[in-house]
Each structure stands twice: as structure tokens, then as C-alpha cells.
Chains A and B, each alone.
Chain A
Amino acid sequence: MNAKQKDRLWTGILYVVSAFVVLLLVALIGYILFKGRNALNPSFLFGNPKFGEAGGGIGPMLFNSFYLLVVSLAITVPLGVGAGIYLAEYAKEGRIVGILRLCIETLASLPSIVVGLFGLLIFVNIFHWGFSVLAGAMAIAVINFPSLTRVSENAIKAASDSVKEASLGLGATRWQTIAKVILPSAMPQILTGIILAAGRIFGESAALLYTAGMSAPNLNFHNISLINETSPFSLFRSAESLSVYIWKLNSEGLVPDASDIANKTSAVLVLMVLIFNVTARILGNKIYESYSGKK
């Protein structure tokens, strides 16, 4: 075989491998959505789960997944963006920053089950929060913190080059420049990062097993207190998320239609991931257009 034929052969192989991966994804997502095609009906999406009989819904878990997401973003966004600003604008490369970057790397590479166990130890046991929304949200905040810091740092670095000196030259302080000029222009990029992170958080399970707990009390929307345990917005009630529910369904056979519910819940999760990804992509394209001046 000469070099030309070899080249053609390998080009063909690379095409086949790439096509295989794309087909695998299409098949995977197609299979999940097909199997769970009956998920989009209100009695399943908003109904309460049943025990020992078929036909239960996922209402409380769906609410819990969103609520956990919101609470955890409320914790990480201020901290992550703050740390990103510090790294991009204030930190001077040196020992402390070296340690800080090592810590970010360490946090980012911690297996999520380990973060979950840490949450069990600190939030659930030592702080006596029990299996709760707050403990779960804190655990996923820990997972999300390093990636959000990185996203913010990069976004701020990219946004600051062109406008920083102009603002400083007008007599603004460093902080005024950051808060009034750099941050607003870096915001779309940070937002894209947050949405992508939200997609990951939404499906997180290992960190939530032993922090947010494995039971989902039915929700009563007449009570909107943040601490009263019967309120759906309570930070101190246990809050099983969608993915934890799938896991529990097939480790404990609680209902006869467990596999049907798991199929439909998987479809809901994948659908959410698709929505988060598409939103982030559209936003990303908008930013690209505004930066490159196409529109």
C-alpha cells in the first residue's frame, strides 16, 4: 500500500469514527425521547408520586430540581463572579494566586460523590440542617464554584482589554471601572457560562443523594414560608431531585411502573439539557455577533 492509499484509508476511518459518534448521540437521545414520549402530560409532570401503585407523577421532584438550581445559583453566582473578578483584575501572580489556582483545580476535579459526602458531614450533620434543600444547594454550589470562577475570569479578561484604560483615564477607580464598565460588557458571556452550568446542576445526583435526601414531600403552595417545613419553599425540608428519583426507582422497587417512570423522567431531564444547551448557544451566537460587529 502506498502513501496515497494509506492516506485515503485513514481519512475514511476518521470519517467513520466521527459519524459513529454523532449517530450514537442521535440514537441515544432519540431512544430516550422516544421511550419517554408520554412524559409531556400534565398529570405526569405535575402529579404527585404514588407508592405501591402505578400512575404516579414527578411534580414534587421537578419542582425540587428547579428550586435546588435556583438556590444554589443564588449562592455561587455572587461568589464565583467575585472570585473571577479578583483573579482577572486584582490578583498579582505570586504564591497566593498559585495556591488559589491549585485549589480551583482541586475543587474542579473532586468527584461529586466526595462533595456530597462532605455536604453530609458539614451541612447535614454538623450544622444540623438535616437532609435539606439548603444542604443540597450548598453541595452543588461547591461543585459549580470553580467552573463559574473560571468562566467569569475569562469573560472579564476578554471584556476589559478595550475599555479599561479609557475608563481609568477618565478618573474612575479600579472598582468603578469593573462594576460600571467591564462587568456589564462581560455579563452575556458569564450568563452563557451560568446557563451551561445550570444544565449540569439540573442532572446532578451523586452530590445530592446524602445532602438533599431521597424523599420528596408533596407540595402545598398555600404556605410560602422559607423555614416552615411544610412549605414548598422551605430551605430545610428534604428535596429529592429528578435524577435522584430515577436512581432510587431502580434501587428500591417502590412502584410497579418504575421503569416507565424512569423512562419518562429521563426524557424530561434530557429535554431540559437540550433547552439549556440551545439557550446557551443562541446567547453565545448573539455575543459573537455583537463583538464581531455583524449586527
Chain B
Amino acid sequence: MENKKFITKLKNEYLGKTYVTFCGLFIIILTLTIILFILSKGTALFIKDGFSLTGFLFSTAWKPDAEPAKYGSLVFLAGSTLVSLGAVLISAPIGVALAIFMNQISPKLGEKVLQPALELFVGIPSVVYGWIGLSLLLPAIKHNFGGIGFSLLAGILVLSVMILPTIASLASDAVKVVPKNYIEASYGLGATRWQTISKVIVPAAKNGILTGIVLGLARAFGEAMAVQMVIGNSIKIVDGLLSPTSTLTSILSMDMGNTVSGTAWNDALWSMALVLLIMSFVFILIIRAIGKRGE
């Protein structure tokens, strides 16, 4: 009798519960595995090959075939940082403007037109952005500003379109939850709509907007294909908006296939992957800090 009861209970409850708990724990195992493997591959350059950390982080000399080989990654670090900061600089004001428009100026147009538009922007694959950049943007840059087209500027422009939906939708969520009575109080004092927006709504939604901007920055930092296609991939430090350069992701997507696993060159690439992993942690920590401040 007891036994039968246990079997029914097993069927009706324990099996399912065990399965979903496993699924939950599996996420933790997966994440830790990824971190562990990239950590061990990413530190090999410094531990196994004896290359110095400062030589990796602060030198622009990337000469993997030279004797002795040099694996300075400053060019890529600087490229990634500048291209993503540039993209955020363009995208953040536009994203916030969209968020305000969607919630305060015309919620109807926002819901019927802008929201679906942003979803489509997210949906367009990154190689298609890269391809459009390559076939449309590069000739335009070459024609209007000179240079060869492939440039930091092209990378910034392509990325700014790609991260716009991230910033706009998070900012919009933040603007949406600004308490109604703040807004009504402001109007009640005789403030105009713009005064209410700039003095009440944006300050009240500040944390959410910042979260959106940091997430946009994170997405720009990690984007690979589109940037690789338009930035030119020349290994030299940036000296202007029109100069071609490389990023961490672009060198990773190009060189990983040309190097043999276990060589110092390959290990240097893994160290860059580790940098990308660490950066995404840093972005998460910043977002959490912003969230805490808001509470």
C-alpha cells in the first residue's frame, strides 16, 4: 500500500519536480563550465607561454609571426572601446528621445509604429547590417569624407543602429513606470510638457535609462560580424574617425580559424575572448549597481 502510494506520488510529482530542478541547475553548471574553460584557455598565454600581462594589455605591438613573437592587444582593446563608446554616443540621445516620444508625446504612434519598428531593427541579422554597411555606407563615407571607407566611423554608425532598440526599449520601460502623480503634479504647477519631460520624467527614469545605455554598450562591445565587415581590420592604433582599425571581436572572428590550438598565437586570441567575458561581467556589475542605487 505504502509502496503504491509512493509510485503514484513519484509519477505525479517527484519526476517532474526533479526534471525542472535539473533544468535550473543545468544553467548554473553551463555558465560555470563556460567561465572555467575560457578562464583556463585565456590565461595560458601568461602561464604556459610566459608572455607578460602588461605586454598583452598595454602594448600595440601585435606581431605573432615575429621572432620573438609579440602579442600586444592595445590596438584591439582601443578599437573595441572607441567603436562602442562612439555608437552609444549617437544612440543614447536618439534612444531616449524615442522612449519619451513613445510614452509622452504619442503613445498611439509609439505602440503601432515605433514598437514594431524597433522589434524589426533587433531582428535584422548582424551580417545583413554588415553587408549594408559595406555596400552602401562605405562608398558614402569614401565619397563625402575621403579615406578608404573602411573606418572607425563606419563601425560606429553600423553599431549605433544595432544598439538603438536595446537603449530605446529599456529607456521606454523606465519612462513608462514614472509615477503618474509626479507628472500630474508638474502639470498642475503650470509646467509645459517639455519642462515636465526634462525636469521630472527624465530625472525620475534616470536609472532605467542608464541601464539601457550600459546594455547597449555591452552589446556594441561584443558584436562581431557587422563590425568586422566595415572596420577595415588593419592592425594599427586609431588616429581619427576615418582610419581603419580592428576590434577584439573582429580579430577573433578572422584569426581563430588560421591558428593551431595550443600555440601561443592561439592562446593570445583566447586571452582576448577572456577579456570579452570579463567585460560582460563588468557590465553586469555596473547594471546591478545602478539597480541597487535605484532601490
Residues of A within 8 A of B (CB): 3-4, 6-7, 9-11, 13-15, 17-18, 21-22, 24-25, 28-29, 31-32, 35, 78-83, 85-87, 89-91, 99-100, 102-107, 109-115, 117-118, 120-122, 125, 142, 145-146, 149, 173-176, 178-179, 196, 199-200, 202-206, 209-210, 214, 243-244, 246-247, 250-251, 259, 262-263, 266, 269-270, 273-274, 276-277, 281
B223 touching A111, Cβ below 8 Å:
yes
CA distance A29 to B119 in the complex (A): 13
A173 touching B123, Cβ below 8 Å:
no
A206 touching B253, Cβ below 8 Å:
yes
Known: A79-B23, A273-B120. A247 touches B229 (CB 8 A): yes
B195 touching A277, Cβ below 8 Å:
no
CA distance A7 to B199 in the complex (A): 12
B225 touching A205, Cβ below 8 Å:
yes
Known: A10-B194, A174-B13. A117 touches B222 (CB 8 A): no
The 24 sampled A-B contact pairs (Cβ below 8 Å) are: A3-B195, A17-B97, A83-B23, A83-B27, A100-B24, A104-B27, A106-B280, A107-B34, A110-B277, A113-B224, A113-B249, A117-B273, A118-B34, A142-B34, A174-B13, A175-B14, A179-B16, A203-B126, A209-B253, A214-B257, A262-B131, A266-B132, A274-B123, A277-B120
A-B contact count (CB 8 A): 248
A120 touching B256, Cβ below 8 Å:
yes
Known: A110-B280, A259-B135. A210 touches B116 (CB 8 A): no
The digit string for B182-209, where 1 denotes a CB below 8 A from any CB of A, is 0000000001111101100000000000
* In the complex, chain B residues 1-31 whose Cβ is within 8 Å of any chain A Cβ: 9, 12-17, 19-28, 30-31
Query: Residue A122 contacts which of B37, B164, B215 (CB distance < 8 angstroms)?
Result: B37
Having A22-B114, A81-B23, A107-B31, one finds 5 other A-B pairs with CB under 8 Å, namely A79-B26, A104-B27, A110-B34, A113-B273, A178-B16
Known: A17-B94, A176-B12, A203-B128. A90 touches B20 (CB 8 A): yes
Tally of chain B residues near chain A (CB < 8 A): 86
* In the complex, chain B residues 80-125 whose Cβ is within 8 Å of any chain A Cβ: 94, 97-98, 100-102, 105, 109, 113-114, 116-117, 119-125
Known: A107-B27, A121-B41. A175 touches B284 (CB 8 A): no
A83 touching B9, Cβ below 8 Å:
no
Query: Residue A270 contacts which of B22, B128, B222, B229 (CB distance < 8 angstroms)?
Result: B128
Query: Residue B125 contacts which of A173, A204, A259 (CB distance < 8 angstroms)?
Result: A204
A87 touching B24, Cβ below 8 Å:
yes
Known: A107-B30, A109-B280, A263-B135. A243 touches B125 (CB 8 A): yes
Chain A residues with CB under 8 Å of B22's CB are 82
Chain B residues with CB under 8 Å of A86's CB are 20-21, 23-24
Query: Residue B192 contacts which of A7, A17, A274 (CB distance < 8 angstroms)?
Result: A7
- For B17, B102, B136, B221, the residue with the greatest tally of chain A CB atoms inside 10 Å of its CB is B17
A32 touching B12, Cβ below 8 Å:
no
B100 touching A32, Cβ below 8 Å:
no
B283 touching A109, Cβ below 8 Å:
yes
CA distance A15 to B270 in the complex (A): 46
Chain B residues with CB under 8 Å of A117's CB are 38, 252, 256, 270, 273
CA distance A176 to B9 in the complex (A): 10
B101 touching A203, Cβ below 8 Å:
no
* B122 closest partner in A (C-beta): A200
Chain B residues with CB under 8 Å of A206's CB are 126, 224-225, 249, 253
A114 touching B253, Cβ below 8 Å:
no
Query: Whole-angstrom distance from the CB of B132 to the nearest CB of chain A?
Result: 7
A205 touching B41, Cβ below 8 Å:
no
The verdict on B175 contacting chain A, using a C-beta distance below 8 Å, is: no
Query: Whole-angstrom distance from the CB of A45 to the nearest CB of chain B?
Result: 17
B123 touching A277, Cβ below 8 Å:
yes
